[in-house]
Amino acid sequence: DHWRYQIDEQLRQHATPDGFVFMTGVNFAYREHLRNFKCTLERVGMNDHFVVAALDSEVYKWGVLQGFPIYLAESAKQAGAVFRLGSEFGSPGFVSVTKYKSLAVLEVLKKSYSVIWCDVDISWFVHPFDALAGYMKPNSGLAIQSNAPYIDNPNYIAQPHKTVAALNQTDAPAAYRRLNSGLYVAPHSPLMISAFSEIVEHGAQSKLTEQPSFDEILCHRRPSERGHSHCTYRPR
């Protein structure tokens, strides 16, 4: 019952005192991405409060041998499949694996923990909790990144490289399909569980990745509604 590499023990051992866990999830095809991701976290001083949802049994076995704070997500148990080709962007395996991520987050939310989700292709230059402290508030709303280009900050140069032209205008942060499910803070609440339940349900019926389901449920589908920099989610 106290086997370290299962969800209840990992959450108990690694959650912050107020119930937040920094979470990612991978299948076997992304194991080397995970190794690199963990190294970048350690470089900025994050040595705890980090858990990994194994999205197939092979990466779970590999992660246990590596000593990662890993557990086998319930979705992986149900599927009983290994998505070896899931690393090829846009492939059927890739699309299927992305939907396991929001399902894994829902599993943790239902256990009364709050989640900071981060894909393994994101690099951190400061401790994630320092960067996201303003959003880590119990019972607050979902804070999610936008892929709208960012142009208006007088303190920073928005031009990423000299070969990239400066932008004069851009979409609203909450414009259609601008929500990016690679990084978000999801504090535990009944409303958050409802939102993720709808996201998972929508994703199961979609032929796309999980990301458009976030936009559809949180912003586009009534009675939810979209603003300039935020969406108001209302359960059906």
Full DSSP string of 86-103: TTSTTSHHHHHHHHHHHH
C-alpha 128 chain-centroid distance? 13
Q: How far is CA 157 from CA 124, 146, 160, 206, in A?
A: 19, 18, 7, 38
Of how many residues is the chain composed? Answer: 236
Burial class of residue 148, CB neighbours in 10 A (0-12, 13-18, 19+): middle
Confidence category of residue 218, pLDDT binned at 50, 70, 90: very high
Q: Which of 10-19, 33-42, 91-100, 190-199 is the least confident region? A: 91-100
Residue with tokens 């149900």: 78
Please report the pLDDT score of residue 29 as a whole number.
87
Kindly report the pTM of this predicted structure.
Answer: 0.89
Question: How do residues 50-82 score in pLDDT, each as one tens digit?
Answer: 999 999 989 999 999 999 999 999 877 765 554
pLDDT at 170 (0 to 100) = 73
For 82-136, what is each residue's pLDDT tens digit? 455 455 666 666 777 778 899 999 999 999 999 999 999 999 999 999 999 999 9
- Does the pLDDT of residue 173 top 70, yes or no? yes
| CA 225-221-202 angle, 5° bins | 135
Estimate to the nearest angstrom the gap between the alpha carbon of 219 and the chain centroid.
18
Pull the structure tokens for residue 126: 């400061």
